[in-house]
Chain A
Amino acid sequence: MSAWLEIKDLSAKVGEKEILKGLSLSVGKGEIHVLMGPNGSGKSTLSNVLCGDPMYEVTGGSVTFKGKDLLAESIEERACDGIFMAFQRPVEIPGVTMTTFMKYALNARRRAAGLSEMDAVSFIKRLKIRAKAFDISEEMLKRPVNVGFSGGEKKRMENLQMAVLEPDFCILDEMDAGLDVDAVKVAGAGVQIMRGPERTFFVISHNIGFLREQIKPDFVHILVGGRVVANGGTELMDEVEKNGFSRFYKEA
């Protein structure tokens, strides 16, 4: 029987450039995994391939998620199946408020699960309570998605979307990157609030202090050259902190 999420020999390219070159990884339910690796090693590519970004072309391998062939599903089917990515650079959507956007997204998931749409009152209540947890004002919810927000505000909005949609596989792509000291302190709030036996996280970051203090992972994987070259626990983070990725290059 395969794992909850089983990635086998996955290869993918963008344009003519091969980025993932036979990547394999087994992930269980309720676990927190950290992906580390030098720039260009394939961390973001893996995240986007799992979400179905049409920019990338899968050239080999397989991904099984909850027993299903993930790569055969559309972007929205994967989202409705519980995959969520907090984007490194969330796009701005002028003319669509965060409230409207979340209502559409939540109801799309409910329809896919065979549930009726959520009534307006329950939805607003759910949105407001969760917004509070990330220090997001009601006024911010009425503004167009990400338009005019600072880097820190955008990351809080990604956290909010994760909390509202309650996915069970969450990918956080450099949640702490480009933030000031105070913003970094709350970038991991989503993981802290939402971690539990039913939910798995993939966290990509170069910031070992952030990972150690806020994420507290169960497993750490090192990616080099489009493959996973080492699997372990937090001791791998300690090693990267001391010696960088040099040892792993040799193993790649």
Chain B
Amino acid sequence: MTQNTEKRTVVDVAERETKTLVETVLSAETVVSVGKGASLTHYRLAEDAENALTVRLDAGASYTLITLALGTGKLRIAADLAGEGAVCRSDVVYAATDDEVLSLQTDFTHNADKTVSRQLVKGAANGRAKASFEGRILIPYDKKEIDGSQQHRALLLSRDCEIAAVPRLEIYADDVKCAHGSAVGSLNAEQLYYMRARGLDESEARRLLTTAFLNEVLDGIRDEALRSDWEAQTAERIGL
């Protein structure tokens, strides 16, 4: 189902097929097509990667994407919900530290009725890292029974890091349920105090709270070995 070159990876899931794909080396461009009634679960590790992913979902197609973005990189995820009843779930964890610069851009278009999109983006920045998330949901004017949501939550782990979030909803239709939210903050001081009062040192408490926060997304990975490997890599990469 996949063709792979350095420049371009093409993934086609035929009608009514169910597939799982794990991608750890990314081309510059990834093109995914999920056919009628087909289902694709896609896990991607984007380590210091630059990649543009475009996904097209036909009627009744279901696409579940979990992306782990580490280090300096530039990622774009564009989804075209082209067929009626298509469901797209895209969750992302991003983590950057030192002088890394990481940007994530998502662009979901509901081009058919009764389409559903769900995005949960969780991130953390440490050191002097700069991270940005820009997410767009576009719902053209004549579409009906659309359900979209986009949530972004991120942690600032140092004084000198930066996280910018730009959620953009462009809704031209009436029959729409669309929710979005973005919150960027520091670790909770009361939680840190409670943990330290039980004997955990500060860095241990910070690491535990941060990984618990990010693992909400990674817990969605059904392959246990892959999940614990990626969870460990995330903790290490963020410098905790």
Q: Which residues of A contact B (CB under 8 A)?
A: 51-55, 74-76, 78-80, 84-85, 87, 90-91, 93-96, 100-101, 104-106, 108-109, 112, 144, 161, 165
Contact = CB atoms under 8 A, between A and B. Distances in A.
A144 B197 CA distance: 18
B216 A87 contact: no
B199 A91 contact: no
Interface string B175-206: 00000000000001111011111111110100
Contacts of B211: 95
A104 B207 CA distance: 12
Interface of B: 188-191, 193-202, 204, 208-209, 211-213, 215-216
B215 A105 contact: no
A101 B198 contact: yes
Judged by DSSP, the binding face of B is: helix
Given A96-B208, A96-B209, A104-B204, A91 B194 contact: yes
Given A91-B194, A95-B216, A79 B209 contact: no
A144 B189 CA distance: 18
A93 B198 contact: no
A79 B208 contact: no
Contact of A104 (B188, B190, B200, B202): B200
A228 B194 CA distance: 27
B198 A165 contact: yes
Contacts of A91: 188, 190-191, 194
B183 to A, nearest CB: 14
Contacts of B215: 95
Contacts of A80: 199
Contacts of A109: 199
Given A76-B197, A78-B197, 14 more contacts: A53-B193, A53-B197, A54-B189, A76-B196, A76-B202, A79-B196, A79-B197, A91-B194, A95-B209, A96-B212, A104-B200, A105-B200, A108-B198, A165-B199
Given A105-B199, A108-B204, A165-B198, A75 B193 contact: yes
